[in-house]
Each structure stands twice: as structure tokens, then as C-alpha cells.
Chain A
């Protein structure tokens, strides 16, 4: 791997190597730019993926070099429901390894639908909501969705449905098996008059681009993929970036500040290396792709006399319109075994309730997915029906009777962007590096709760139609953190109400780009990754175009 010295004025420092950072690195490096990628986490099993453990206990207790997610006891964070509360210790966590969250994610790769880019215009203003139209259209992003699907490797089947985004090209890989839960979706949907589609997923069902196909091992979401079938940034984009000879990936690099000069231009970034030694890496421009929480926190930490509210934050919008991501779960028991622990997590979706419908009396939509995922320890600890005994002969009987018979519906639902929902710097708590901890303040909009209840009822209907018995569904659960965090550096045309422009350039800082889930103006149906990837390809394209015009120095 090429190495640069910190004093080398590289073309770009990219902060983060996940869904967006990996793509930015590959696109910029293969187009001839000198790139340093700073990743908070380690290499994971990069280049020796067959070593990824399938041992559930070990995966839950990773060694120092085997961590794939951030550690809330080091990357501390706090949570409160509203400004009146004192924030308490939080368990928010995100992908923290070369490849970021894409190394361990379930891989759902739904596009946003065309009208999800201007939903405000469709549904009209909602009291208390920050719902807004995007500054770009689906048509502008469509070619980049296609590029992302083909360059990453997405399994799926193109369908013609009002509830699924139209595609200009098929998926490159056929869909993954639909699983027993998917077959039950088809049974229920036929009775209820609903539509089932194969879930597009970043796990290849057939060999693709030199990688082997999924073996349906079942130790999937939360685990690294030992056969490289999951199309993570770490097995798709990063190797190409490094092979270009123009990209260095520096792991265990914890950025604490994006530095600027008196003219307000970015000059580089200051980070802690593995030994917590401070290093300043010079750069002509910076791409911030650290995820919605971390990107906003870093901007807020990068205060200077010229940027007293934090970098790129003259609007005061940095950190705001946070969408953590809500899901609704319901389960029931079937007469025959599903064995849903085999295969990828999600095999099929019911899409009829993706759009909002004014007849329901509130704004909201979502995607119902057949989502079975019971690894043995997790099943034994918390997989049984809530009324089943917790120990003793009754517990053992339930373990045997319920094993592999559970049918679970998980709905990924809208959560509106609210100005008051945000991340900022905790005034008291510090992380292990002595930096202010990420503080999350979040309570979903009343419509979001009504929507979750709607999906809870719909899930029960689907379970009943499929023949499930002893159905259970918890009350609506308002998220406190997690890998689907979005918003916080929203994209827009007006520098007073948004952080970056339609090409991801910070309104306030000409050579700073923010490219990740933080840019999402609205959250779609809580399946963000494919849109983040498409945005990254588009952002890179525009950066390359303007740089090739010779304007990188005065970007």
C-alpha cells in the first residue's frame, strides 16, 4: 500500500471508510488523486476474510483487534428524550472497521422511490415536522443507483410496481433465496391482496467480480462474512482504491478536528493514532464520511474563531434533523419449521404500505420485511414467546417446541426529521480520547408513533393470514441510537437551512465535502445504505469533474 507522510499535501483526506467513504476513496484514487483514508477502527479481517469468526460467543466478545463495531465504553455517548432531561449513558454504536457498517450489516439495498425526494410537496407541511424536499431528484440520482448496484454487487430482481423504485437496468446478481418466512409472506399477501418482492440485498447469490456466493451460513448480520459474499466496502471499493497506488488507508485513526486557515479553508485534519499520539495530516480538501452521528460531532468539535459554532455550521443546522431509525417487530409461531436461521436475514418484503396514505389520518409509511434471525445463544436468551417460562422444565419444553417455528415480521418505517432531534457535544461526558461524547436528543413525531402502531397491526394481520399462532408484538419503540442514524448535515440549496449543497460541498467551506447518511434530507423507509452509496458515486463524479477542470485548488 502506498504511504504518504503527514506533511504531504495530499489531494483528499477521507474520514471514514464505510458505505460512503469506501466509494469516495475508490472513485477519487482510481481517478488519479492522492488520498489518505482515516478509519477509527482496525482492519478487521481485511484480505483474510475466511478468518471471520462464526462463533457467536466470540463474535459478541471480540478481542482488541477483532472489533467490528464501536465500543460505547470507549466511544462513549449519551442519550436523552428532550432538552429538559439530563442525558444518561447511551449504547449507540456504529460500524468501526475498514468498510464501516457495511462489514456487518444485513445488506438491505432498497432504493428510495422517486417521490421520496420531494415528499413535502406530496403530503404538504406537517405541524412540528422538518419534512423538506431534497435539492436533487430521483432522475438525477438514478444512474448512480445503477452504478452502485453494479459496482458493489447487489442481488435482486427488478419489478414493475408502484411501490418500488423504477430501475433503468436489472440487478447484476439474481435474488437470494426467499426463505420460509418469505414463502409465508406470499401466502399472507395472496390472502390480503398485498404484493411481495424479493429484497434487494448486498449479498451475492452467485459469484460476482471474483467473489464467491453466499453459502447461507446464517451467522450473518453482526458477523463478518467469511466467504466475501457480503458486498461491503472492504471487499469491493477499498481493494480497488489501494490497488490504484494512490490511496493509503490508516486504521485506528481517531480524528478530533478538521483544521482551517484564516481564510476559512480546510488545511487538513488532526487525529490520534493507535497510541493516542496527535498527528496532523495536510490535505487540499477533506471528505467527511464518518456517519451522521460522528460527522456532525466532528464538525461541532472543529470550532475556531472563524467558525465559533463549529465548522460548516453558520446555519446552526449541523447535528439537527437527526433520524435514528425505527422498526416494528411482531412474531408468531407456525405449525411447521421455518429454519429461518439459515441464509441472509431478510429475504422478502411487503411493499404496499411504503407510501403514506392520508386516509390513515397521519403521515407515515414503511416496508414490511420477513426477517428471521435466531442464532442459538440469542434464541435461548431472548428468542422465545414472551409468555414462555424462563427456566426449568417448561423453559426446556418451549425451547424445543418453538425452535425454528418462529415467523417474524420486521417493519422499517418512516421517522420524520425534527429540528429538535439532534446530536451535539455532551457538556460533561468525555470519550476515551478526552473529547466531548456524542449526545443524542431524540423523540419521534406523534405521527411516527401512530405509524408504528399501524405497522404493528398490519404485522399481526400478516402473521394471522399466514397461519401463525400465539402472536406477539411489543409496543411502538422509539429508537435511542444505532447504525441507521441519518440527517444532521442535511443537503439543500439554502445555506441558512442546510449544511451542504446539492453536490455535498459545505456551504461555508469551499474545500470540505460531507458525504454520508448525514446528508439525507428525509429518511426514506429506514433502509438508507443504497441511497448513501448512490449519493457517494454522484458526489465523487462531481468532485472529479470540477477537479479535472483544474479547480481542485480553488474548489
Chain B
């Protein structure tokens, strides 16, 4: 991994403002194009086509994301279309992480077969089995990367492909009106 790639990952994980800007500068046209595509797809109701993953890879990433933020009585990564976010990110802001995914998914497959020799693929495991595989991998840089991307996709503006119907924001009661009046919360309301 080049120092620039390391710094980009560090940026994602720690949000040290500003790292990786040179890459963004060089690829900005593609980033704008990708956003326009997501907007078009959303407005026409068309399903978003995969830009980077194969269908098989997409199923594995989708299964990982769905374990990181599971769906239960409330929406999770799957309902938020986090897969779309990650897929688009890997052709835009996160282009230099493509190989990390290709390699990481191979590792996921290896870990799956190590724990469950008869398994065909991670996404075909039961939920409990998937959790066992990811628990064995949770200290790896690949897991950290997918976690970062999943959470980011869940909470980023829907224009980037995830957070579909703002399900991420709704889950944490985030009001995106960008225009608020006091009192903001319980305690300042008490003192008024």
C-alpha cells in the first residue's frame, strides 16, 4: 500500500481533514458524473447498476454490510442500499481501495471455508455463521475498511447512493432540515 493510500484510509478512519485531495482533484469529473447517475436513477426509479463489483462480489459485500448494520425491526445497511454507496465509492472517492476489496473478498472466502469447509460462499452462510466469520476477521484492515464504508454509506447524503430514503438519518433521529430553532433538546427546553 502506497503512503497515499495509507493516508486516504487513515483519513476515512480518523477523518483527519484534507488527506488525499490530490487524487480527488485528478478525478473530480468522474465523481460528479457518478453523483449525477445516482440522482438520475433515483428520480426515474431505476435500480442502480453496479459500477465496480461483479454480481458475486456484490452479494458478499452486501452480506458483510448487512452484518455490520443488520436489518431487524428497523432498517439496516441493506435497506439503506449501502452496497450502492460502496460500489460507487470504489469508482470515485475510494478508487484506490479497489484492490483492497478484491483481495479482501478472497480473504473472506478463505476464512469462510476455513471455519465452514463445506460452505460455498460467505453470503450463503447462516447469520450466526457469518458473524463467526466476521468476528474472526474483525481486526483486519479489510474489515475496518468495509465497516467505515458501510457506516459512511448509511449516514452520508442519499445523493451518494446509500442512506436510501434517509433510513440512516431516521434511525438516529437526525433532522436534515439544516434549519433549527431553539430549544434544540430536552434540557434547554426545561430551562426556558
Residues of chain A lying within 8 A (CB to CB) of residue B173? 337, 339, 403-404
Task: In the complex, identify which listed stretch (B51-59, B110-118, B174-182) lies at the interface while the others stay far away.
Answer: B174-182
Return the contact of B191 from the options A73, A183, A378, A391 (Cβ within 8 A): A183
Given contacts A60-B15, A93-B18, contact A216 B184 (CB under 8 A): yes
B190 near A74 (CB under 8 angstroms)?
no
Residues of chain A lying within 8 A (CB to CB) of residue B180? 215-218, 342-343
A503 at the interface (CB under 8 A from B): no
Task: In the complex, identify which listed stretch (A63-71, A273-281, A358-366, A456-464) lies at the interface while the others stay far away.
Answer: A63-71
Given contacts A57-B156, A337-B173, A395-B68, contact A62 B21 (CB under 8 A): yes
In the bound assembly, the distance between CA atoms of A334 and B76 in angstroms comes to 25
B178 near A72 (CB under 8 angstroms)?
no
Return the contact of B171 from the options A54, A89, A177, A400 (Cβ within 8 A): A400
A262 at the interface (CB under 8 A from B): no
Given contacts A183-B191, A393-B72, contact A404 B138 (CB under 8 A): no
Residues of chain B lying within 8 A (CB to CB) of residue A93? 16-18
Residues of chain A lying within 8 A (CB to CB) of residue B189? 180
Scan residues 1-54 of chain B and give those whose CB is less than 8 A from a CB of chain A: 3-4, 7, 11, 13-22, 24-25, 28, 31-32
In the bound assembly, the distance between CA atoms of A70 and B121 in angstroms comes to 44
In the bound assembly, the distance between CA atoms of A495 and B14 in angstroms comes to 42
Given contacts A63-B25, A342-B184, contact A218 B178 (CB under 8 A): yes
- Dominant SS at the A interface? loop
A56 at the interface (CB under 8 A from B): yes
- Dominant SS at the B interface? helix
On chain A, the number of residues with a Cβ less than 8 Å from chain B's Cβ atoms is: 63
A209 at the interface (CB under 8 A from B): no
Q: Which residue of B lies closest to A64 (CB)?
A: B25
A400 near B134 (CB under 8 angstroms)?
no
Return the contact of B169 from the options A60, A218, A376 (Cβ within 8 A): A376
A115 at the interface (CB under 8 A from B): no
Given contacts A380-B152, A381-B148, A395-B69, contact A180 B183 (CB under 8 A): yes
Chain B min CB distance to A173 (Å):
16
A399 near B172 (CB under 8 angstroms)?
yes
Per-residue CB proximity of A392-407 to B under 8 Å, as 1/0? Answer: 1101100110011000
Per-residue CB proximity of A68-109 to B under 8 Å, as 1/0? Answer: 011111100000000000000101010000000000000000
Residues of chain A lying within 8 A (CB to CB) of residue B7? 72-73, 89
Return the contact of B17 from the options A60, A64, A336 (Cβ within 8 A): A60
B179 near A217 (CB under 8 angstroms)?
yes
Return the contact of B179 from the options A184, A215, A400 (Cβ within 8 A): A215
Chain A min CB distance to B113 (Å):
22
In the bound assembly, the distance between CA atoms of A391 and B66 in angstroms comes to 10
Q: A67-B18, A338-B186 are in contact. List 20 more A-B contacts (CB 8 A).
A: A55-B156, A63-B32, A70-B18, A72-B7, A73-B20, A89-B3, A179-B185, A217-B179, A338-B185, A341-B174, A342-B175, A342-B184, A342-B185, A376-B168, A376-B169, A381-B15, A381-B152, A391-B68, A400-B172, A403-B173
Residues in chain B within 8 A of chain A (CB atoms): 3-4, 7, 11, 13-22, 24-25, 28, 31-32, 67-70, 72, 74, 76, 93, 131, 134, 138, 147-148, 151-152, 154-157, 159-160, 168-169, 171-175, 178-191
Residues in chain A within 8 A of chain B (CB atoms): 54-58, 60-64, 67, 69-74, 89, 91, 93, 177-184, 186-187, 215-219, 222, 334, 336-343, 376-382, 390-393, 395-396, 399-400, 403-404, 432
A-B contact pairs, 19 of them (CB 8 A): A56-B157, A61-B20, A63-B28, A71-B19, A73-B18, A178-B188, A179-B188, A338-B184, A340-B185, A380-B152, A380-B155, A380-B172, A381-B13, A391-B69, A391-B138, A392-B67, A396-B76, A400-B74, A404-B185
